[in-house]
Structure 1
Amino acid sequence: MLDIEVIEDPAAAEASLDPIRTRILQELVEPGSATQLAVKVGLPRQKVNYHLKALERHGLVELVEERKKGNVTERVLRATAASYLISPVALASVAPDPRRFSDRFSAFWLLALAARTVQEMGKLIAGAAAAKKKLASFAIDGEITFRSASDRAAFAEELAVAVTRLVDKYHDGGTGASTETVSGARKHRLVVVLHPALKTTQHSPEKEQDND
């Protein structure tokens, strides 16, 4: 079972968004049968079986084992991942393209970069899993409080300068031939983001309140 599976197929994305199927996927983090799920989700076993077949058809659940109980075979299934994320590939024709934006302070550019990150990491994780290899990645996550908008702008500028300096130091531009052909060399994607943290309220913990 993967920690996170990125869904690229539009039909699979549609199947996963059904509230009942979402609940079934949540319950199937631990293996279970249709009979067990029926009790947990409060639906008839036949109805649960209908949803399980749809999820299995789209590769979102997998067979763990089959148990014989008299003349009946009970199928035990498990979700293919603990969590799911829908890739922009599922909406390819309207997916955001970072190349449409030129302002690095644009919130829409940040969203487009995030969408591209989901798309590319989904493909990389799937490829690494198929090859049974570990995927090398690195991320920084933290929070910083600025006293003013000018301090935030100054920080962003200094961060850009520092990152550019590091890129210039370590980037192997090659001498004509593609660096991909050099033994051990491989291109990596670098994305650094900075945005206001979401303010929480008692009734709406995810509502954005910051308009600064």
Structure 2
Amino acid sequence: MAATEMSLMDEPERLRVALTPIRRQLLARLREPASAVQLAAELDMPRQRVGYHLKVLEQEELVELVEERRRRGCVERVMRATAKAFLVDPGVLGSPAEPSEIDAGFARIADRHAAEHLVEVAAGTVRDVTRMAAEADRQGVRLLTFTLEAEVRFAEPGDVHRFTDELAEAVSRVAARYDTAGGRPYRLTAGGHPTPHKEPGR
């Protein structure tokens, strides 16, 4: 079975295990299968040390056994990362929150022009989509999503508020046109933030 495209790191212990420099390096390399012997040679490290880190990663289901090869009277285990990319749930870096606490957080910063609200919504999107994508991978189906991106240059701050109001009205009209009782519900999230400045030459 192929590795999933993405896996959500939403448990503090798994995150702690994965974030040491050598284990991050191993996870990146193990997007393609390799044995401890191969990894030790590539990283110029003792095989026993690599084997120890692989065992820890395997216990947390961050790497998995792909194949066993018999060589010179020994069994060489070929390992692979269980996902091509590991995404950190933003919530795991803070104190764990119950659903009621999350709802209270949304109510507290419900101002749609607040940066904190945008960050909360984006974190929820990362969390939900990553979990659903991983489950779709396991079932061998495709998760149907869509992404809209645009860049707008505003003359003054007040234009941001007027644009947001007009966009909300337009989205409501289109959503009402396609909303169907009994249909598969989709969540549409639209956010805007200043385009980051790029240094010359980058």
TM over 0.5: yes
Amino acid at match of 1:69: R
Is structure 2 residue 167 aligned with structure 1 residue 165? no
**Helix, strand or coil: the match of 1:84?**
strand
| Residues 51-95 of structure 1, C-alpha deviations (whole Å, 9 max, x = no match) | 111111111111111111021111111112221101246456248
1:41 aligns with 2:48: no
1:198 aligns with 2:201: no
Task: Report the Cα distance in structure 1 between the residues aligned to 2:150 and 2:17, rounded to whole angstroms.
Answer: 34
Q: Secondary structure at the match of 1:93?
A: coil
Paired with 1:202 and 1:80, the residues of 2 have a C-alpha distance of 39
Offset at residue 202 of structure 1 (A) = 6.3
Q: Does 1:107 align with 2:115?
A: yes
Residue 23 (structure 1) shift: 0.7
User: How far apart in 2 are the matches of 1:23 and 1:202?
Assistant: 30
Which of 15, 18, 41 is equivalent to 1:16?
18
Where does residue 67 of structure 1 map in the other structure?
A: 69
Query: Given the superposition, is the C-alpha separation of residues 4 and 127 from structure 1 closer, same or farther in structure 2, using an over 3 Å criterion?
Result: closer
Q: What's the TM-score once normalised by structure 2's chain length?
A: 0.85
Which SS does the other structure have where 1:167 is aligned? Answer: helix
For residues 52 and 111 of structure 2, the distance between their equivalents in structure 1, rounded to whole angstroms, comes to: 48
- Relative contact order higher in (CA < 8 Å, ≥ 6 apart): 2
Distance 1:143 1:23 in 2: 35
Offset of 1:143 from its aligned partner?
A: 2.8
Q: For structure 1, list consecutive stretches of 5 or more residues without a partner in the other structure.
A: 175-181, 206-212
In structure 2, runs of 5+ residues without a counterpart are none
Q: Please name the residue that 2:96 is paired with.
A: 93
Q: Tell me which residue corresponds to 1:25.
A: 27
Q: CA deviation at 1:186?
A: 2.0
**d(CA) in 1 for partners of 2:192, 2:131:** 25
Question: CA deviation digits over 1:130-161, x for unaligned, max 9?
Answer: 33322111111343333332333332222112
Match of 1:144 in 2: 152
Is 1:9–1:89's contact at 8 Å kept on the other side of the alignment?
no
Please give the secondary structure, in 2, of the residue aligned with 1:201. Answer: coil
- 2:118 equivalent to 1:120: no
Q: Given the two structures, how large is their TM-score scaled by the length of structure 1?
A: 0.81
Q: What amino acid is the match of 2:15?
A: A
Deviates more, 1:27-36 or 1:153-162: 153-162
Q: Which of residues 179, 187, 190 in structure 2 aligns to 1:189? A: 187
Distance 1:141 1:38, change over 3 A: farther
| Contact 2:33/2:79, CA 8 A, preserved across alignment | yes
Q: Is the 8 A contact 1:29 1:79 kept in 2?
A: yes
**Structural RMSD (CA):** 2.3
Partners of 2:200 and 2:86 in 1: how far apart? 27
